[in-house]
Every structure is written in C-alpha cells, then in structure tokens.
C-alpha cells in the first residue's frame, strides 16, 4: 500500500535568492530516501525551473515593491515516490499547452529561452500544470526513485565495465 512517510510545506517570497533556497531545502528533505546523485540532480533542475517561473513570470504584473509567494509541498512515499507541488497565486497562464511548447516564452530579450517546462518534463516522471488566469499556477511533478538494491547493482555493473 502507498503511504506518505514524510511531508514538507514551505512558503517563501518570490525573490531570486529563494531559487537556491528551495533547491537546497528539497535536497535536504529528500536525503531520507537516499537518492542517487543523478536522481537528486534531476529533481534539483526541475525544481529550479518551476521556482524560477514563479519568480520571473507569476508576479510580473504586481505593483513595484509588492512581493508574491511561492508555495511548495513535498511528499515522500514508502514506495519511494516523491511528489513536488510548486504553486503561486500570480497572473496564471492563458494557454498552458502553448506555454509548455519548447521555445515558447513571453520573456523579453534573450534572457529566457522557453525550455523550462521541457526540462521539468524530461527530468521527472510525471508533470502536470494547472493554471487559471488571475488566480495562479500549480505545477505537480513526481519522481519514482530507484530501489537501493538497484543502485548497488548499477554501481557494481558500472565498475565492472570500468565506468566511474
Ligand atoms: N508560474 C507561472 N506564472 C505565469 N506564467 C508562467 C509561469 N510559468 C510559466 N509561465 C509562462 O510559460 C512560459 C514558458 O515557460 P518556460 O518553459 O519555463 O520558459 P521561460 O521561463 O524561459 O519563458 C513563460 O514564458 C510564461 O509565459
Ligand atoms: Mg522558465
């Protein structure tokens, strides 16, 4: 049976310093499941993109001096599933399907390249994006971590093959 074994909720102001705060907090929280370096790297990348979107896009219409929030909820399951929900109550996305297309961006200049959702999709096992204009956006990502035995046998087979 699938049970939640641990849960974390965070609320942080949507300011750029909190991109690395979110990444580090989630990494620390996941340590209990002893993810591989690769799994942890994947999750950190996906989290970075989702949090950056809250910081860069969600509150772009806010009056100067006001700051919105990023809400994070992470759950660990006994099945080694990790679910990460990152949401904001910002401007929302008019057309989610279009926003998720590679290279679609509303960012100005060349600072954004429209690959955020693609990264989230490629580095997690499931991705769902829900958004309402004027209400906000919720990104839900799941990652299924390997069983520890699989990690050990991977290590053995790669050392046999002479890989690092
Ligand atoms: N949390 C969000 N709030 C409002 N708009 C968003 C949010 N996340 C993504 N978007 C929209 O989706 C587009 C694509 O996002 P993404 O793939 O991360 O590319 P980029 O951030 O480089 O523009 C953004 O340009 C923006 O218009
Ligand atoms: Mg982005």
Is 135 part of the annotated catalytic residue set?
Answer: no
Quick one: pLDDT at residue 115? 96
The predicted structure's pLDDT at residue 108:
81
Residue 160 is predicted with a pLDDT of 73
Query: For position 164, what pLDDT does the model report?
Result: 56
Residue 47 is predicted with a pLDDT of 98
Report which of 74, 53, 54, 55 is spatially closest to residue 8, judged by C-alpha positions.
74
Asked if 33 and 145 count as a contact pair (C-beta separation under 8 A), the reply is yes
Residue nearest to atom 22 of ligand 1 (CA): 114
Number of other residues whose CB lies within 10 A of the CB of residue 2:
7
The total domain count for the chain is: 1
pLDDT reported for residue 150:
66
109: left (phi over 0), alpha (psi -120 to 50) or beta: left
Ligand nearest to the CA of 117: 1
Does residue 35 have its Cβ closer than 6 Å to ligand 1?
Answer: no
Which segments in the chain show pLDDT lower than 70? Answer: 150-155, 161-164
49 among known catalytic residues: yes
Question: Does the predicted TM-score (pTM) go above 0.75?
Answer: yes
CB 136 less than 6 A from any atom of ligand 1: no
Is 112 one of the annotated active-site residues of the chain? Answer: yes
Helix (H) and strand (E) counts for the chain?
Answer: 5, 5
Give CA–CA dist 137/122, Å, rounded: 20
Residue 60 belongs to what domain range? Answer: 4-160
53 lines ligand 1 (CB under 6 A): yes
State residue 157's pLDDT score.
Answer: 74
Residue nearest to atom 25 of ligand 1 (CA): 105
Looking up residue 102, the CATH number of its domain turns out to be 3.30.565.10
Atom 12, ligand 1: residue with shortest CA distance? 99
Beta-bridge partners for 71: 11, 87
Closest ligand by atom to 95 CA = 1
Distance 101 CA to ligand 1 centre (A): 10
The pLDDT score that the predictor gives to residue 162 is: 67
Q: What's the farthest any 2 CA atoms get from each other in the chain?
A: 59
Q: What is the pLDDT of residues 106-143, one digit of tens each?
A: 988 777 899 999 999 999 999 999 999 999 999 999 99
To test the ligand 1 pocket, which listed residue (54, 105, 139) has its Cβ within 8 A of the most ligand atoms? 105
């Amino acid at each position: 049976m699938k049970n939640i074994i641990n849960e974390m909720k965070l609320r942080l102001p949507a300011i750029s310093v909190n991109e690395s705060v979110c990444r580090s907090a989630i990494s620390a929280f996941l340590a209990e499941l002893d993810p591989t370096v690769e799994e942890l790297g994947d999750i950190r990348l996906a989290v970075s993109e989702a949090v950056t979107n809250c910081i860069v896009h969600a509150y772009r219409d806010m009056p100067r001096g006001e700051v919105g929030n990023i809400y994070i909820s992470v759950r660990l399951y006994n099945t080694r599933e990790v679910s990460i929900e990152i949401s904001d109550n910002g401007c929302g996305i008019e057309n989610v399907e279009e926003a998720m297309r590679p290279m679609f961006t509303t960012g100005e200049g060349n600072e954004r390249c429209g690959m955020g959702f693609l990264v989230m999709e490629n580095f997690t096992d499931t991705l769902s994006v829900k958004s309402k204009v004027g209400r906000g956006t919720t990104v839900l990502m799941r990652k299924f971590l390997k069983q520890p035995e699989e990690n050990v046998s991977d290590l053995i087979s790669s050392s046999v093959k002479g890989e690092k």
